[in-house]
Amino acid sequence: MKKLFVALFVLASCTSNAQNGTQDMSDATQDDKQFLSEVVYQKEDSILVEKMLRQTPVGNPVLFYARQFIGKPYVAHTLEIHDPEYLVVNLRGLDCTTYVETVLALVMTKQEGKTRFTDYCRNLEKIRYRGGERKGYLSRLHYWTWWMHDNIEKGILTDVQDATYFTGKMVVANDYMTKHPDAYRIIKANPEFLPEITRMEKEQNGPDGYFLPTANTGLPHSRLTMVNDGDVVGIVKMSGGIDISHLGFVAWGKDGKMHLLNASSLAKKVVEDPATLQQYLQRQKRLGVRILKVNIEQ
């Protein structure tokens, strides 16, 4: 999965760590304390997470939590700030990837009946890293394809396919990180990472299922019954060494059309786009969308 919104992020903008959290550590295990010592966050992040986890979602839990962030500023590159790799939690500013991961971690933790910041962080790590374990920069799921398959294997997501409407053939040819290593602060500092990144790109490139073409995204829900509120949307690019260019959530509108709930670099904040998903794709000249179902009880 792609975290490929390239530019440098000022390290000084995120200097807080676990010692700034609000979770009551009196009953924390030694393992909890060790885990939180490698989490980068600010006090307001932990406060907001625990506040949200105490809420009772109304309606679809994915949309419930996703809509809590409407208006939050779009901030790119928030994960490229710590070497060695720490778990970064930032609810103050989100890009399209961290927005989706943040919402999924909240939904997972709520489904487990837990309300601690530590529990949320463990779920975020599970989503963000290969096999659910943070083992350095190379374990992060940098491209959509990597992220999708790993989270399917972990049982968090299900790939939505349909022979009638999902007719766009997905052929992955990711090589952006290999061709643009200078765009990544961590790779520039650790050039020895590049051969392994190249190997992983090649290993997971090739035919990879089907997507919903732009022409079919304007169909009503009565025909696209396999696509539902809160599904994860990946905007298909398949050019320039990138598989998916943007992420968000499906929100079926009162107009009977699909809309995109996303952290938008254009709007510079989290928005539920008033334009239909099809109109968005046409403006951006994108091929279509990949859809993933979130495996939760509703």
What is the helix, strand, coil percentage profile of the chain, to 5? Answer: 40, 25, 40
Q: Characterize the bridge pairing of strands 206-213 and 168-172.
A: antiparallel
Burial 79-98 (b: 16+ CB within 10 A, else e): bbbbeebbbbbbbbbbbbbb
Span 227-259, pLDDT tens digits: 999 999 999 999 999 999 999 999 999 999 999
Domain boundaries, the chain: 36-294
Question: What's the confidence (pLDDT) of residue 14?
Answer: 32
**25's tokens:** 């550590």
Span 124-151, pLDDT tens digits: 999 999 999 999 999 999 999 999 999 9
Which residues sit opposite 104 in a β-bridge? none
Average pLDDT, the chain: 92
d(CA 229, CA 248): 11
* Percent of the chain with pLDDT strictly greater than 70: 91
Pick the CATH number of 36-294 from 3.40.50.150, 3.40.50.2300, 1.10.3670.10, 3.40.50.1820: 1.10.3670.10
